[in-house]
A and B are shown apart, each in its own frame.
Chain A
Amino acid sequence: MDQHRRTFLKILGGAAGVGIASQPLFRALADPPAQASDEFFVLVHASGGWDVTVGLDPRNERRGIIEPANTSVCDTSAIRHWANQVLDDGTTTTFQTLQPPGTSLRLGPAIGNLYDYADRLSVFNGLAMNTVSHPDGTYFVSTGRHLAGGKPVAASIDTMLANEFGREQLLPSVSVGFPSTFVGPHLDARVAPLRVASVATVSRVLSRGNVNTNADDRSAVTALLTQEAQDLAARSYYRDALTGFALQFQSLPRMLAPDVQPIFNASGLALAQPSFFPTPGLRFQAGAAVNCAFAVEAMKRNLVRCVSFASGSHDTHSTNYRNQLLIQQELFDTLANLLRALDATPHPTRIGARLADHTHILVVSDFCRTPQINLTSGRDHYPNGSALVISPKFRGGTSFGSADPDQLLPQDAGTFADGTRAVGPADVLATMLTAMGVDPRRYMRDGDVVRAMLRA
């Protein structure tokens, strides 16, 4: 009898627990960030649409409508991996493709110093962009959804990741010209991306003159306001906003610390990370170098969770196509510098780990450029694309998807949940989220996981 009574009480208690847990409040409490926040993210938008035929999906043969890059339309003098190869007409000179040893990748000469890190590169080729519009392609690669009525309809990847991993971070998401959006359910207001034109903008917010008063004077005011906010919160029925003020007042000295402000201006970053600022200076990607240096310094101090930025433009419709190789080479060189810096920087919260072990990099572009060279020696917009992932969660030295050999259009990459089709930007983003242990369906309508690209 006693046994029956105990069993009955267990069942009763279990039923009550299920009932309580189904209430909205408890569901909310049971919805914490998916992972402990030791991961960092760098998201790069190679703006303008890059020419994949000289970088991630190289083409050095005349075939179908494809006209490969050649010395008559490209300035190759500064391209370190350019090795001449004569085309079938016997007079035009193109390049030799690169096949990094130990990988299945084929890369173009614009890959720059990233060639040395080929075993860490995961490349998605033949992305079905289905657009040749800059705004549409830009938001498609960052959200996995096309614009609707000119408006983004989903959260961008940086917002998704910040929402999962950066809610408690001082700066969850810093977006320097990246197509960041804050749309959809499940988003914490704290992770709204801080969209700025340059990191120097943040520097101006943190800058303080010390002529009339000084840091001690301001700290005294902050301490007073912390007490005021705490007292008001204690007297209030609705405490959240006031408690938030109190906590943020307490965090303010950390943000205004003398060692933080230099990471938001180029001169301070040049001192801290000189390898990002070569001599002679970068012609096209100086901004990307500043942003990468900022990312390293901010992650090193555990201030930021996501740094996203747009690189210098790859939009080369006419004779400026001569610079396309150099534009890409500078970007890939900067990413190689980033990897080198991440390798050399200890993780701020994991003893014995490097930043590189917990930093995940995604590089996307609006679309790619036409396989034909137009009458003004440039290339226009084309609905194909490539994406690059550098992450310890991804299999390095591999590629997935392809564009066809005659027209450079995306071709079927495998069987997805909706049938056989080419891989798309939504698949890349969904794979990125899954690699981080996040259910893509929490944020995304579309996109399948490409498990072949993930480490076991």
Chain B
Amino acid sequence: MTNTARTLVVSALVALGCNGTPAARTPAPDAQAPVSRPATDITPTPVTAIPGHESLAQDTAPKEAPRLMPAETLIRSYLTLFGGLSPIAFQTRMRTTTTGEALFDTWADYLSALGIPDYTADIPRAAQTNTLQLAAYERIAVALCERAVQNDLRGAAASAQVLFTFDLPAGRSLTDAEFATRFDVLHRRALGYPAALAPDTRVPRFLALYRSAETAHADAGVGSQRRFTGPEAGWAGVCEGLLRHPEFHLY
């Protein structure tokens, strides 16, 4: 068959397809009839099992610079992490003390430093941090972590533990492995992912912080200026480090 003849045949078929009688129409469904779905007979298949998809290039690069968490979200995070109290109840809990700790004032004292907008004067939401803001983060983190240490690490039942949901061995220091396990609990809670996925330096760095606090507070107790024991100070420091961490404030 010559090319011309082949072209004519194809053109005729196309014309026939375009101008042919319409297919029989499906009758309109009865509005009153019950709807039935066909049985699913598609087997779930991993995407890599589809030919041509054996290896998939996935672009995980961030497409936007990290942004600062809104201050309201930050306050909600604090409240959630430390027992889900209301702001007023939380404030009362933080201020209650018999030892003159002066850990917390009122939320209102910190709002402007945290970057809450003031729309009456067109003061916008803080889009990036400043040093006073970091000082406010520290102020709140110290209060939260020290209260949590007092609540969780002094013989509280597991059900009453809020943040430090683990126990400490009595009478001895943690091994490095034991620290890493417990640190991972806090890391997941505060930063939302396992410590094993963090940069390699993170666990050793926090371990060194823990050890130095443990050593510095070895003389804690009555008559000492340091009230927290070594492990308590160590975990308070680790907790503060996570709550003040850039990854806690950026998303």
Chain A contact residues, CB within 8 Å of chain B: 151-152, 170-171, 179-183, 189-190, 192-196, 201-202, 204-214, 216-218, 220-222, 224-225, 227-229, 231-232, 235-238, 240-242, 244-245, 248-249, 251-252, 255-256
- Give the residues in chain A near B134, CB-CB below 8 Å: 245, 248-249, 252
B71 at the interface (CB under 8 A from A): no
Given contacts A180-B121, A183-B122, A225-B244, are A207 and B105 in contact (CB under 8 A)?
A: yes
Given contacts A205-B110, A211-B100, A241-B66, are A225 and B61 in contact (CB under 8 A)?
A: no
Q: When the two chains form the complex, which single residue of B68, B233, B241 contacts A225, counting CB atoms closer than 8 Å?
A: B241
Distance between Cα atoms of A249 and B113 in the complex (Å):
15
- Kindly supply a per-residue 1/0 record for chain B positions 194-235, scoring 1 wherever the CB is within 8 Å of any chain A CB and 0 otherwise: 000001011001100100110010000000011110001100
Query: From A171, which residue of chain B is reached at the shortest CB distance?
Result: B132
Given contacts A181-B122, A192-B123, A242-B246, are A220 and B131 in contact (CB under 8 A)?
A: no
- Give the residues in chain B near A152, CB-CB below 8 Å: 121-122
Given contacts A217-B236, A221-B241, A235-B199, 12 further A-B contacts (CB under 8 A): A190-B130, A192-B124, A206-B139, A207-B139, A212-B101, A213-B146, A221-B240, A222-B138, A224-B205, A227-B201, A228-B245, A249-B134
Number of interface residues of B (CB under 8 A): 64
B48 at the interface (CB under 8 A from A): no
Number of A-B contacts (CB under 8 A): 172
- Give the residues in chain B near A222, CB-CB below 8 Å: 138
Q: List 24 A-B contacts (CB under 8 A).
A: A179-B121, A180-B123, A194-B132, A202-B132, A204-B105, A205-B110, A205-B132, A205-B139, A209-B102, A212-B101, A212-B232, A213-B213, A213-B233, A214-B225, A220-B213, A227-B205, A236-B66, A238-B62, A238-B66, A241-B246, A242-B66, A248-B131, A248-B133, A252-B138
B186 at the interface (CB under 8 A from A): no
Query: From A233, which residue of chain B is reached at the shortest CB distance?
Result: B246
Query: From A178, which residue of chain B is reached at the shortest CB distance?
Result: B121
- Give the residues in chain A near B112, CB-CB below 8 Å: 194-196, 201
Distance between Cα atoms of A194 and B233 in the complex (Å):
33
Given contacts A182-B122, A212-B227, A238-B62, are A252 and B146 in contact (CB under 8 A)?
A: no
